[in-house]
Structure 1
């Protein structure tokens, strides 16, 4: 039986009178790279916050690695990159990375190794001693991704990780995400609007009005909906005439 990294069972979420997440069930197996696609306002970020335990569902339940969310153990198991950068701008890049590494209880040697690895991955090694206040928007996104990787988590949850990042670095980041999945068996959930990124995912979940309207491999989805690209898949899955 295939192990599940994330299991959502009939999850619902409302804000006042608006239902943002309709009754939604989804199973994400371990060791896969899953893409979550959908337009702005469809519920992607809300769904991720529910998975993270930052929001409580009105109905249903969520399990990660067989722990009911929220659970203290999951703090070590999940690396999270939010859509908005949550950084200490009066500290340097290195101080930010070391702060989070200490919060995860890494030893001095582990901190040094993980800071070097994460900074090198996102091309920030030469800027680590600069205050984050002086970082560009793209540099802040890169530092946020480095922080998400700092404790070597089993599960990565990345909300639009490559927005504002140049194409060369974007390609390198995706190469590393695929390596982490294939060589270290990490599970990765990533939201994206980029069609080239969607093609790299093992499975795609398309979200519209708080519901999963299509789920499968990129190839399966195109075949199922006789579509030339994912825009067509999304429209056809949502009942639109193409």
Structure 2
């Protein structure tokens, strides 16, 4: 596109801290972004994405370099720039005790929107976002996806020329993510708006017209997603085995030298290699009998390949197959039994007589849109919320009468990690070990295991709040496993995490399941459902579908789409249920 760039960065560097604690968040970043495009910003945890966006807005001053945005010098003219800029940070400040309309009025005042133009502007934006019928609803009573759309609408009331979005879809269900992206495409196509958006969902970055890749504060690449994906040509394969199941095969392949990334897809494992022959690596790793066929590269493959060898989230921690205690449960035994389970909040029925069961050593997933009842079900099964009616039995204990005893056999990682931010890594583990009632000798033994197993020893004296997101997740999981639970509950544990950290988590989950631990997990990354043995999809408190990933996708196979994705099946199921409703 012709014309001056809407964003021009030249040699941008930024450091935080002093002395030995200095962190270089950005290191000599230079990019130019053309107007009228949707540009994606991706990178692993700690890459510098948020710092870069805040420098572009003028909220942070770079230590070195020049920042020109929409023709303004962002460091010298922040006030002039603000009038033409819309910025939605990760935690956008909606006022939950105000209605949708009142939030719009407030942000219109803050952005100086002309009062005579507000009614038409509000109507246009609310209609575009599907919020027109919710003007008088308190924003605190909106679903997560609706809150994000309202945040976007509030950002747009001042008619900006450039929109900056920092991880706008984190924690948002797939259908709401699609709706939010449809709004972005419409803003680009109909309004000519320039959009710069950071995201941890690589499939979202693939929808952008161009992508900026950052790692450890340095620029890795800028380009069109398809062209970047082509850089991984010849390095992606689909591997199958007649002797090993997908989970065991994934575990073996993930540790193989030269394998940068691996993920379960149906009965096979998809791998990205650093280069060279895969067949030779399979022979050396004792997997010579496996079948490997090349597959077309994706943008995510090129992103991971651009980062080179596995980063700290993979390289600094091995995942030994014997680290967890064996759980001598009979194969096929039901560890979780749910029958006609309901939960009311006042007159509102959040969970409506659902029934399912989970066997020992299974990885079982609860999927659903925001507000579907997943977290309520989760909290009931963890003993944190009493059921209104029905049966909920975990590890042989009826939660209506023995929740406290059941909790001793459960490990739980909450959606927002239950860590004590001001305590160190070691102090957090000591607190949880004592809370689980471990004797002093066992505490020392299990904490030592956790530090080695999760690569936390170098961070034992660091405050939990100072850890990168991937390491916070490691610490939360380590704390949940200190007492060697029979059942592990993970509530959206990968939300906002980079692909390396997500892959590490799912490798650990698979190996824990092989050792007998039963895992119940919720996630909004629907490709992760392929790692599960079975799953249910919930909407409005009811179960829409139950089965293996292949069984869930089967009804949506057509001649045009012989291999539908889990996201496609999920969206179709939710849309169908809403249509019937």
| TM-score, length-scaled by structure 1 | 0.91
Q: Secondary structure at the match of 2:137?
A: coil
Pairing 1:95–2:102 present: yes
Structure 1 residue 216, shift from structure 2 partner: 0.4
Name the structure 2 match of 1:230.
299
Q: Distance in 1 between matches of 2:140 and 2:182?
A: 29
Aligned equivalents of 1:78, 1:181: Cα separation in 2: 15
Specify the SS of the correspondent of 1:4. coil
For residues 126 and 184 of structure 1, the distance between their equivalents in structure 2, rounded to whole angstroms, comes to 24
Of residues 53, 60, 65, the one that matches 2:65 is 60
Shift of 1:114: 1.7
Instruction: Select between 174-183 and 131-140 the one with higher mean Cα deviation.
Output: 131-140
Contact kept? 1:114, 1:151, Cα under 8 Å: no
Distance 1:67 1:191 in 2: 22
Q: What are the superposed Cα offsets for residues 22-77 of structure 1, whole Å, 9 maximum, x if unpaired?
A: 11111111111100011222111111111111111111121101110042222221
Task: Give how far 1:2 is off.
Answer: 3.3
Counterpart for residue 45 of structure 1: 50
3-state SS in 2 of match to 1:73: helix
State whether structure 2 residue 111 is matched by structure 1 residue 110: no
Q: Which residue of 1 aligns with 2:440?
A: none
| Matching of residues 132-211 of structure 1 within 5 Å | 132-211=139-218
Once the two structures are overlaid, the 10-residue window that deviates more, 192-201 or 226-235, is 226-235
- Aligned-partner Cα distance in 2 for 1:138–1:40: 23
Question: Gapped runs of 5+ residues in structure 1?
Answer: none
What CA distance in whole angstroms lies between the structure 1 residues aligned with 2:210 and 2:186? Answer: 16
Q: Partners of 2:136 and 2:45 in 1: how far apart?
A: 36
Measure the CA separation in 2 of the matches of 1:64 and 1:91.
33
Match of 2:28 among 13, 23, 29: 23
Contact 1:121 1:173 in 2 (8 A): no
Moved more, 223-232 or 209-218: 223-232
Cα drift, residue 106 of structure 1:
2.4
Alpha-carbon distance change, 98 to 127 in structure 1, aligned in 2, over 3 angstroms = same
**How far apart, CA to CA, are the structure 2 residues paired with 1:198 and 1:235?**
13
* Equivalent position of 1:12 in the other structure: 13
| Aligned partners of 1:85 and 1:140 also within 8 Å | no
What is the root-mean-square deviation of aligned Cα atoms in Å? 1.9
Tell me if structure 1 keeps the 8 A contact 2:96–2:138. yes
Aligned position for 1:2: 3
Deviation at 1:169, TM superposition (A): 3.5
The answer to whether the Cα contact below 8 Å between 2:57 and 2:82 also exists between their aligned partners in 1 is: no
Question: What is the rounded CA distance, in whole Å, between the counterparts of 2:221 and 2:50 in structure 1?
Answer: 18
- Give the superposition deviation at 1:183: 2.9
In the alignment, structure 2 segments of 5+ residues that lack a partner are 236-296, 311-581
Larger radius of gyration between Structure 1 and Structure 2:
2
Q: TM-score, normalised by structure 2?
A: 0.40
Size of the alignment, in residue pairs? Answer: 241
Which deviates further from its counterpart, 64-73 or 103-112? 103-112
**CA separation in 1, counterparts of 2:175 and 2:140?**
24
The answer for the alignment partner of 1:120 in structure 2 is 127
